[in-house]
Amino acid sequence: MEKHTVSQLKALTSDTEVTLQGWIQDIRVMKNIIFLVFRDHTGIAQLTVKRDSWKGINLESVSRESAVSATGTFLAKGVSKIGPEILLKVLTVLNPSRSPLPLAVSDPVNSDIETRLNHRFLDLRKREVNVVFQAQSKLLWGIRKFLSDNGFVEVHTPKVVAAATEGGADLFRVQYFEKETYLNQSPQLYKEILISAGLNRVFEVGPAFRAEKHNTVRHLNEFTSVDIEMAFSDHNDAMRMLEGSVRSGISEVSSSMGKELAETGHNILIPEIPFPRITYEESVKYIEGHGEKINFGDDFSPEQLKILGNQFHDFYFITKWPAVLRPFYTMPDPANSEFTNSFDLQYQEKEITSGAQRVHDPQMLVERFHSKGLREEDFSFYLESFMYGMPPHAGWGLGLERLCMILLDLPNIREATLFPRDRNRISP
């Protein structure tokens, strides 16, 4: 017999024989009838059993969250309010669940985030949790499709590297045979090498690692980074590609999951483009106009960004950041070398993305190494690619989990991460 999912039942005619496979969410025992709440990855159905005609296993002994196969007759005019109704004929327990459950799946009990993450496999069975990662998949697919349609090639670069991408101490060291190496902070150096190789437009979706000792609702130490690099381009080209990617991703979520997300409390609004832009200097003036003092070259605090974000209702760019705040590969502003051709994409007070036009002149790049206290010999493999006609180029790196967190208005970035890695958590 053909297997069906709950979502497929509505297209069937009444009295069709069906087989469903999933989990028993709950059992309700009445005097003459037993109701089993059945759940698969597409929805919930009710399995109805009449006691006087049932000849199968003892249903009252089936534990909640047991994996089962259920065969019965679909009742198109069933009276169940929870979902489609099946008159059950055969129930096979594929794998019983232990009892009691370490984490409630269907009961209206709010467990703390640490308990949920400790038992993530059960937490993910909840519809409101599961739907987050379905949306994240659609979000990434919309971004991928946009980039592919705009001539980008997907690539995969090393995650164990010999040199720090951005310098500094925020690195995880790895013993690699006889050598000490690092987990890569980003694919930045390799993206640029590929631009020199003539691939012209590249993007990568992969893990990135930051050994920052944060413990906030917005930071992770391992996250999924969506990175692009594009040849013969500047920061303005990169910003246009970024806002197009974000809009495409959100549009994909809205069109494919808008109704389901609304049912779980998430209302998706597709942003208009182009996004507003404000320079670092203009941002400083605005914030200082609201009573906050900022020294040139200081990054903005979350409180200051809240002030700035109040004038924007959606996404916006902060552009022209000071050189002291940007990595060595960031192109200085030709009109004023204290600033750079760089940008951050913000949503209210939350930073989503950093990007910039990159330095493509090898001599300028060496000078930037020195200004940041880096040794050029540590980057010889990277620097060589600039010696043979590196074109002007630009790009950005986007944190997928943070964008998903913002899109769905989640209170904690761990809600948008299957198995978070933060300062305290390395399991499961």
Q: Which domains does the chain have, with CATH numbers?
A: 3-95 (2.40.50.140), 122-416 (3.30.930.10)
Q: Which residues are catalytic?
A: 210, 212, 218-219, 351, 354, 402
> Is 415 within 8 Å of 265 (Cβ atoms)?
no
CA neighbor of 343 nearest in space, from 416, 252, 241, 428: 241
* Identity of residue 285: K
C-beta of residue 339 within 8 angstroms of C-beta of residue 333: yes
pLDDT of residue 313: 82
pLDDT score of 284 = 96
127-149 helix and 235-263 helix, angle to the nearest 10 degrees: 150
Q: What is the pLDDT of residue 399?
A: 96
| Nearest partner of 49 among 104, 11, 91, judged by Cα | 91
- Report pTM: 0.94
- What is the per-residue pLDDT for 107? 79
Q: Which residues contact 228 (CB under 8 A, 6 or more apart)?
A: 147, 152, 191, 201, 202, 203, 238, 241, 242, 245, 395, 396
Report the pLDDT value the prediction gives residue 166, as an integer from 0 to 100: 66
pLDDT of residue 285: 95
Instruction: Name the pairing type of β-strands 336-340 and 332-333.
Output: antiparallel
Q: What is the pLDDT of residues 258-284, one digit of tens each?
A: 999 999 999 999 999 999 999 999 999
Torsion of CA 116, 120, 122, 124, to 10 degrees: 100
User: What tokens were used for 335?
Assistant: 């009109």
CA distances from 288 to 223, 294, 305 (A): 33, 7, 12
Closest CA to 49 of 79, 20, 29, 26: 29
In this prediction, the residues of the chain whose per-residue pLDDT falls under 70 are 1, 109, 165-169
Radius of gyration of the chain (CA): 27
pLDDT at position 167 is 61
Predicted confidence at residue 165, as pLDDT, reads 66
pLDDT at residue number 162: 86
